Chain A
């Protein structure tokens, strides 16, 4: 929570752009072609609706077309910008190399990594939603890059449904767990991962995919990123899509005092939450209620433009 607030503050100082590239690969049969295309278009629509102009979606492109788009990005994107690359389709892993299936020669994990490295954006996120995508973690991971894969290894070879729920996360307010009108990579991951788990449970089928998130640049990926396993820190501060104009108030100097108070209260709430286990339940709830009420009043004042 606090990490996200700091990130928003940093963004105020130097507004940066987020560049999106969504690629749907080869389906192999009409049903999959249609499905992959539909999910890619769903993502495209959500991103454009959020007002982001830097959105590119490639449906079943060749390797040359992918290279060309990455070259454009390499020429345009600034280091302060962010890059989000989303891959939908079938993938394979032969124990050594991961390949993303596209018309013509497939593109390998190593080549994808090289293309990503050429884009100057320091903060990057790669969401590889193909089958066998777990086999790409090792080659794609890098400091300051979030890597999400739909499967836990290269041996989960069945067609995946993760992309369906990732696309849903980008337009679904329910994915915005902290209600800050922005969906972070971590929130979208949690949403999609939970939905995939529900999908297999509801169908009473053995789960054939287990999504992972890696954002330390050196890990194997985690199904449940948390402070305990060290994964998710970068992802929680990486906004993948904004749902509202949440930064407007922050730009008004007249509200600085209120904003400072709000910030202090949020910090106090975070601190109290860390102390939760050490406090009697009633005492915890009493203190929390006091802080939350204070925060609500401060927010009310911010919304109405008056200082208290």
Chain B
């Protein structure tokens, strides 16, 4: 539907005779009959005729909200509030928009609406829903009971209370709403709790009762897709589309599923890997070996055997990946796990150096274990905390670094109490709060591992799996109250970051100054002052970091040994700029340290394996160092990724196969090399040698 303001002139022309014939009831009736376009025309005329009528705009906004256009709805609610600042219905409309977007101000807006109109049932129901989204069961129950006080038949009030029972595995709830919208609400909460099978079951019940409830049918389709049941998912979403329900999630999911023909599936007994055909051959060995390694490590560490292969889908187009997370709150933008199925960005979809795919995979694989072990009863903060913990446990260079947002949050005491940490993921007050919450959750798990031990973390997982909540689990396993835990944790993290946090403002000024010294070729000053600021904030390895500035100064002075030392510190601190890492490798090769250079370059396979120059250099290094398997892997990657010199790439792979005692594969590659360049003499010579 088009935004109304553009159509004023048309509407005004119609006004004199038409307005008398149009009423709000007619608009509502058309809306209810899902004749949205016609209803929209009536609303246009009504608003043109009575521009100061806030009610028309509120109702019109509600229709837009239902018609999956919350941005336009929000504008209409704002216009209504400009006319009538204390219009409770308009404020409720804004609260519903905020809730649809999982924004942190939804609760405040709903409360404001309820204060203005204490009998506004929808606002009360929304408060119950928001509390349960924050995993605050007690508050959700209290708000739901208030809704039932306002209206004993409140479907949503009953649905929230019933959902609380169902989430706690109480099969029969006396609050069962026996209504399609009520089951849709339950489906929503099971999805939020990553219990997709049960979510699907509730959405099925919803559409059984009301086959035209397309919001539920669309969610059913999305959740089936998350579970990898693509055939039925497609059918359900197509039905929505044909019914005229064409929101972004439905549309984009159908488009995505249409594109699945472009994906190649690789299977082992334990893994299913789906890669886009344009990069499948290149990425397959790297992803599959990491998946198998992660599963083996975690099965040992978590003492838990997976009974189903883990599926990983890798999307080169971030928008395709984003479709897989539509309608879900506070998700990291790199990967997402649905039971045994993981969807993630491809390294090709991100700027080189900005994305450590193996770390993301390690993170998501951890979710597979924590969710499976607890039957998805683990709170969001704990599964994310374990996943973040696992990234740096795999390698100190992996995982995210301590960022300025986290430092400010720590210094200003804005970390959330552990018992409320889920709120930081589900209803963040700002985008930064999601990132901060990931950091905090990871640090909490690090802290518990360090102070109470790994077995305590496993015991906590078991408790969550048994349905216990965070305060109970903290009390039982750590032998302290959550409040006491918060005090200990905050004190520790504040002490660890104090020096950086206290000097952050000066550091922010000092680093650009260092860059200016470098431009002015005052290299001694860059080195002297750079080392000080590097110590102040060692975790900062992003663009414009001190490590690279100081290394550049050493390089300009011709001091290769110190340059190498500096670049090694950068890499160990988590620096991921591919060009800088390649520079370090080049310096090491210059000193004859080929093995060390190869180890440095091998890191890039986990960061940006789309770089042919990397595979060529690393293949050559490993070939020279007689690492035949490594050379085969790298030259295979080169051959798979449209090399600029295909004949040479096939020849190099042939040499590596020959070194690895695989003469038939070597000959096959030589034929491929010579097919491109029949007169390529080194390839001819090796082919003759192998054919004797």
| Residue-wise interface mask of A (173-191) relative to B, using a CB-CB cutoff of 8 A (1 in contact, 0 not) | 1111111100000000011
* B678 and A300 form a contact (CB under 8 A): no
Q: A285-304 CB contact bits vs B (8 Å, 1 = yes)?
A: 10011001101110110010
Using C-beta atoms within 8 Å of the partner chain, give the interface range for chain A. Answer: 20 to 34
Alpha-carbon gap, A190 to B645, bound state (A) = 10
Query: Contact mask B604-631 → A, CB, 8 Å, 1/0?
Result: 0000001110000000000000000000
Is there contact, CB below 8 Å, between B644 and A178?
A: no
For B685, the chain A residues whose CB sits under 8 A away are: 296, 300
Which of B642, B675, B688 lies in contact with A300, CB distance below 8 A?
B688
Q: How far is the CA of A70 from the CA of B357 in the complex (A)?
A: 55
With beta carbons under 8 angstroms apart, the residue of A173, A273, A299 that contacts B679 is: A299
Residues of A within 8 A of B668 (CB): 285
Mark contacts of B478-499 with chain A using CB atoms, 8 A cut-off: 1 yes-contact digit, 0 otherwise. 0000000000000000000000
* Residues of chain B with a CB closer than 8 A to A191's CB: 644
Contact with B along A159-200 (1 / 0, CB 8 A): 000000000000001111111100000000011001100100
Q: Which of A173, A176, A195, A293 has the most CB of B within 10 A?
A: A293
Q: What's the minimum C-beta distance from A16 to chain B, rounded to whole angstroms?
A: 22
CA A278 to CA B680, docked complex, whole Å: 26
The reply to whether A177 and B688 form a contact with Cβ atoms under 8 Å apart is: no
Quick one: which of A180, A194, A288 contacts B677, CB cutoff 8 A?
Answer: A180
Contacts of A299 in B (CB 8 A): 679, 681, 684
Chain A residues contacting B678 (CB-CB under 8 Å) are 1, 178, 265-266, 269, 292, 295
Answer whether residue A229 sits at the interface, using C-beta atoms and an 8 A cutoff: no
A226 contacts the other chain (CB 8 A): no
Q: Are the C-beta atoms of B676 and A203 separated by less than 8 Å? A: no
Of residues 487 through 544 on chain B, the ones whose CB sits less than 8 Å from some CB of chain A are none
B647 touches A179 (CB 8 A): yes
Other-chain residue from B642, B647, B671 in contact with A177 (beta carbon distance below 8 A):
B647
The reply on B352 being an interface residue by CB < 8 A is: yes
CA distance A299 to B686 in the complex (A): 13
Of A1, A194, A266, A292, chain B has the most CB atoms within 10 Å of the CB of: A292
Asked whether any CB of chain A lies closer than 8 Å to the CB of B268, the reply is: no
- Pair A296/B644 contact, Cβ less than 8 Å: no
B691 at the interface (CB under 8 A from A): yes
> Which one, B612, B645, B680, B688, contacts A297 given CB within 8 A?
B688
* Contact (Cβ within 8 A) A178 B648: no
**What CA separation (Å) do A177 and B673 show in the bound complex?**
10
Q: Is B335 an interface residue (CB 8 A)?
A: no
Residues of A3-43 contacting chain B, CB below 8 A = none
Cβ contact within 8 Å between A178 and B688:
no
Contacts of B681 in A (CB 8 A): 179, 299, 303
Checking B352, B645, B687 against A292 with a beta-carbon cut-off of 8 angstroms, the contacting residue is B687
A293:B679 contact, CB within 8 angstroms: no
Please report the C-alpha to C-alpha distance between residue A180 and residue B350 in the assembled complex, in whole angstroms. Answer: 38
Contact A296–B675 (Cβ < 8 Å)? no
What chain A residues lie within 8 Å of B676 (beta carbons)?
177-178
CB-CB under 8 A from B675, the residues of chain A are 273, 288, 292
* A175, A204, A285: the one within 8 Å of B645 (CB): A175
B638-682: CB near A (< 8 Å → 1, else 0) gives: 000010111110000000000000000001100100111111110
Min CB distance, B540 to chain A, in Å?
Answer: 22
Looking at the complex, which one of A177, A204, A303 makes contact with B646 (CB distance below 8 Å)?
A: A177
> Which residue of chain B has the shortest Cβ distance to A165 in the bound complex?
B644
A175 to B691, CA, bound (A): 29
**Which of B351, B352, B677, B678 has the most C-beta atoms of chain A within 10 angstroms of its own C-beta?**
B678
Q: Do residues A202 and B352 form an inter-chain contact, with CB atoms below 8 A?
A: yes
Let me know if A292 and B671 touch, CB within 8 A.
Answer: yes
Chain B residues with CB under 8 A of A198 = 612
Q: Are B687 and A293 in contact (CB under 8 A)?
A: yes
Whether the Cβ atoms of B677 and A296 lie closer than 8 Å is no
B688 to chain A: which residues have CB within 8 Å?
Answer: 293, 296-297, 300
A295–B671 touching, CB < 8 Å: no
* Complex CA–CA separation, A289 to B671 (angstroms): 6
* Residues of A with C-beta under 8 A to B648: 173-174, 179
Please give the distance in Å from A29's CB to the nearest CB on chain B.
16
Residue of B nearest to A293 (CB): B691
For the complex formed, measure the closest distance between the CB of A151 and the CB atoms of chain B, giving whole angstroms: 21
Picked from B611, B642, B687, the residue with its CB within 8 Å of the CB of A296 is B687
B351, B612, B674, B677: the one contacting A204 at CB < 8 Å is B351
Residue numbers in B under 8 Å from A289 (CB-CB): 667, 671
Q: Are B644 and A295 in contact (CB under 8 A)?
A: no
Q: Is the CB of A180 within 8 A of B679?
A: yes
CA A265 – CA B671 in complex, angstroms? 15
Q: Please, which residues of chain B bring their CB within 8 A of the CB of A266?
A: 678-679
Q: Which residues of B are found within 8 Å of A194, using beta-carbon distances?
A: 642, 644
Bound together, the chains give a CA A191 to CA B646 distance in angstroms of: 12
Contact mask for chain A residues 236-275; partner B; CB cutoff 8 A; 1 contact, 0 none = 0000000000000000000000000000011001000100
Contacts of B642 in A (CB 8 A): 194
* Chain B residues within 8 Å of A295, by CB: 674, 678-679, 684
Residues in B whose Cβ lies below 8 Å from that of A202? 352, 610-611
Residues of A within 8 A of B671 (CB): 285, 288-289, 292
Which single member of B611, B667, B679, B687 contacts A178 (CB below 8 Å)? B679
Q: How far is the CB of B617 from chain A (nearest CB, A)?
A: 13
**Contact indicator A179/B351 (Cβ below 8 Å):** no
Q: How far apart are the CA atoms of A203 and B611 in the complex, in Å? A: 12
24 contacts between A and B (CB under 8 A): A1-B678, A174-B648, A175-B645, A176-B645, A178-B677, A178-B678, A178-B679, A179-B647, A179-B679, A190-B644, A204-B350, A289-B667, A289-B671, A292-B674, A292-B678, A292-B684, A295-B674, A295-B679, A296-B685, A296-B687, A299-B684, A300-B684, A300-B685, A300-B688
Binding site for B on A (CB under 8 A): 1, 173-180, 190-191, 194-195, 198, 202-204, 265-266, 269, 273, 285, 288-289, 292-293, 295-297, 299-300, 303
A-B pairs, 10 with minimum CB distance = A296-B684, A179-B680, A174-B645, A179-B677, A204-B351, A178-B677, A292-B674, A296-B688, A289-B671, A269-B678
Q: A178-B677, A179-B677 are in contact. List 17 more A-B contacts (CB 8 A).
A: A1-B678, A174-B645, A177-B645, A179-B679, A195-B644, A202-B352, A204-B351, A266-B679, A269-B678, A273-B675, A288-B671, A293-B687, A293-B688, A295-B678, A295-B684, A297-B688, A300-B684
